[in-house]
């Protein structure tokens, strides 16, 4: 089997779409010998900030000398990123090995009418757990795929759980209100397992609080159990129980990344206490300073400054606009934006149109659910440029903008992945 054939088989399961529930992944893991039970894990849910929080947490424990796995989605550069060990993607030969292992097991489940139709995400969830267990990692940091309660990662019993933020996203599956969405995210809370929350709005936090209380799970709340103070040059201080770490430098741009970094520190400290690890201040500092997570306010080129940010829903777009206002006020900004049809595209476009001294270019990209430009012809009356080829638009803007201007590429993470690959190759 080649790597192309292995990936083709995995992607062939996309036809089953998103199917919330744990019955299929549980059955597949049982056939694998339940590798998830061999792992020490941190489980992270939330509308936005999950990936960055995983990256910061992973980096801290790598600096502490642990062998750290991470399970994330989607990938930006290479499919194996979704199942990484010490920030290194699963090698192609390993991916082929696990596809060869899993394929007959999936075919066996397909023969059972109650278990047929296991999805791509369920397959890679099981694959990730098996890979991490086989490699005997010290810690696995697991990002929820969608929601929490019925997400296939929710078969695990972690040492500590985390919920980053709550916003309106995937409303067709998770619910139409913040409270309904919070209930789904809070589904990862397990009896007696501590949970750390990020910057969660009150109406959503109340649902998380009630769920934690019912499960007798100790809750560590942002701005209550741990706090941050923003400093110059995007550094910040972290305070907990009267102790303070000042002037922490973070690798990821954006003021919201200070919140994600702080939550990662709190998650790490709670986990370390539970398992008996002593984290040093320098390990924490180095972990936050050297964490790597592409396509999140990533500076990908200079002259003009070119930023890549996967603001793929309204909540993430709110954070992006705040960052632009704080970091680049007064600068001329050209924005190339695309998204997928399951998102509130019109609302995100409206938000981008509020950016002062900006020019908005709407485009599409190679993805089954990418937006259709013909649906947005009416925007041309609002001076929004429609570009059928994002590649041509990107090259044209890179050549025409002045050195002190800014080019921002944003929207779907799938779009950001394609742009990033194109720019790094060219």
**426 residues of the chain, pLDDT tens digit each:** 999 999 999 999 988 877 888 999 999 999 999 999 999 999 999 999 999 999 999 999 999 999 999 999 988 888 999 999 999 999 999 999 999 999 999 999 999 999 999 999 999 999 999 999 999 999 999 999 999 999 999 999 999 999 999 988 777 778 889 999 999 999 999 999 999 999 999 999 999 999 999 999 999 999 999 999 999 878 999 999 889 999 999 988 888 899 999 999 999 999 999 999 999 999 999 999 999 988 888 888 989 999 999 898 898 899 899 889 888 888 999 999 999 998 899 999 999 999 999 999 999 999 988 999 999 999 998 889 999 999 999 999 999 999 999 999 999 989 999 999 999 888
Q: What does the DSSP assignment read for 153-178? A: GGG---SEEEE----S-SHHHH-SSH
Q: Which residue has the tokens 């990256």?
A: 55
Distance CA 102, CA 107 (A): 9
* Dihedral pair phi/psi, residue 275, rounded to 5°: -100, -5
130 neighbors 101 (Cβ within 8 angstroms): yes
pLDDT reported for residue 366: 94
* Dihedral pair phi/psi, residue 188, rounded to 5°: -80, -10
Q: What does the DSSP assignment read for 322-371? A: HHHHHHSTT--EEEEEE-BTTS-HHHHHHHHTTSTTEEEEEE--SSTTBP
pLDDT reported for residue 43: 98
pLDDT reported for residue 330: 87
CA dihedral angle for residue 339, residue 342, residue 343, residue 349, rounded to 10 degrees? 50
Q: Which residue has the tokens 């139709």?
A: 117
Q: Which domains does the chain have, with CATH numbers?
A: 3-290 (3.40.1190.10), 298-425 (3.90.190.20)
Distance CA 83, CA 88 (A): 8
Distance CA 105, CA 202 (A): 44
CA angle (277, 280, 284) in 5-degree steps: 105
Q: Which residue has the tokens 């921002």?
A: 408
Output the CA–CA distances (angstroms, integers) from residue 247 to 53, 238, 239, 277, in the order listed. 19, 9, 11, 24
- The pairing of strands 68-71 and 83-85 is antiparallel
Q: Whole-model pTM?
A: 0.89
pLDDT reported for residue 312: 85
């Amino acid at each position: 089997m080649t790597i192309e054939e292995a990936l083709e088989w995995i992607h062939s399961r996309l036809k089953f779409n998103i199917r919330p529930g744990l019955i299929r992944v549980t059955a597949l893991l049982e056939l694998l010998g339940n590798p998830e039970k061999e792992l020490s894990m941190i489980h992270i849910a939330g509308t936005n900030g999950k990936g960055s929080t995983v990256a910061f947490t992973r980096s801290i424990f790598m600096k502490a000398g642990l062998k750290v796995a991470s399970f994330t989605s989607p990938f930006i550069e290479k499919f194996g990123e979704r199942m990484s060990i010490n920030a290194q993607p699963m090698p192609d030969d390993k991916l082929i090995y696990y596809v060869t292992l899993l394929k007959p097991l999936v075919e066996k489940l397909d023969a059972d009418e109650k278990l047929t139709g296991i999805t791509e995400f369920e397959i890679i969830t099981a694959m990730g757990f098996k890979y991490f267990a086989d490699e005997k990692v010290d810690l696995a940091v697991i990002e929820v795929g969608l929601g929490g309660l019925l997400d296939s990662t929710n078969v695990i019993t972690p040492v500590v759980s985390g919920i980053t933020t709550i916003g309106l996203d995937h409303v067709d599956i998770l619910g139409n209100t913040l409270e309904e969405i919070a209930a789904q995210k809070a589904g990862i809370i397990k009896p007696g397992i501590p949970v750390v929350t990020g910057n969660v709005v009150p109406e959503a936090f109340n649902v998380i609080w009630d769920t934690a209380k019912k499960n007798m799970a100790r809750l560590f709340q942002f701005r209550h159990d741990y706090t941050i103070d923003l400093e110059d040059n995007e550094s910040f201080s972290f305070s907990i129980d009267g102790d303070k770490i000042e002037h922490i430098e973070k690798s990821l741009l954006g003021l919201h990344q200070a919140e994600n970094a702080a939550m990662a520190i709190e998650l790490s400290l709670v986990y370390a206490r539970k398992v008996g690890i002593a984290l040093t201040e320098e390990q924490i500092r180095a972990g936050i300073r050297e964490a790597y997570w592409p396509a999140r306010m990533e500076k990908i080129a200079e002259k003009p400054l070119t930023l890549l940010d996967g603001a793929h829903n309204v909540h993430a777009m709110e954070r992006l606009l705040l960052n632009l206002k704080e970091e680049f006020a007064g600068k001329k900004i050209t924005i190339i934006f695309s998204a997928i049809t399951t998102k509130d595209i019109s609302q995100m476009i409206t938000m981008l149109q509020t950016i002062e001294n900006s020019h908005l270019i709407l485009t599409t990209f190679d993805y089954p659910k990418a937006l259709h430009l013909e649906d947005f012809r009416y925007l041309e009356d609002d001076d929004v440029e429609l570009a059928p080829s994002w590649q041509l638009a990107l090259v044209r803007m890179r050549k025409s903008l002045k050195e002190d201007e800014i080019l921002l590429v944003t929207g779907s993470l799938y779009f950001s992945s394609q742009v990033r690959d194109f720019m790094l190759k060219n």
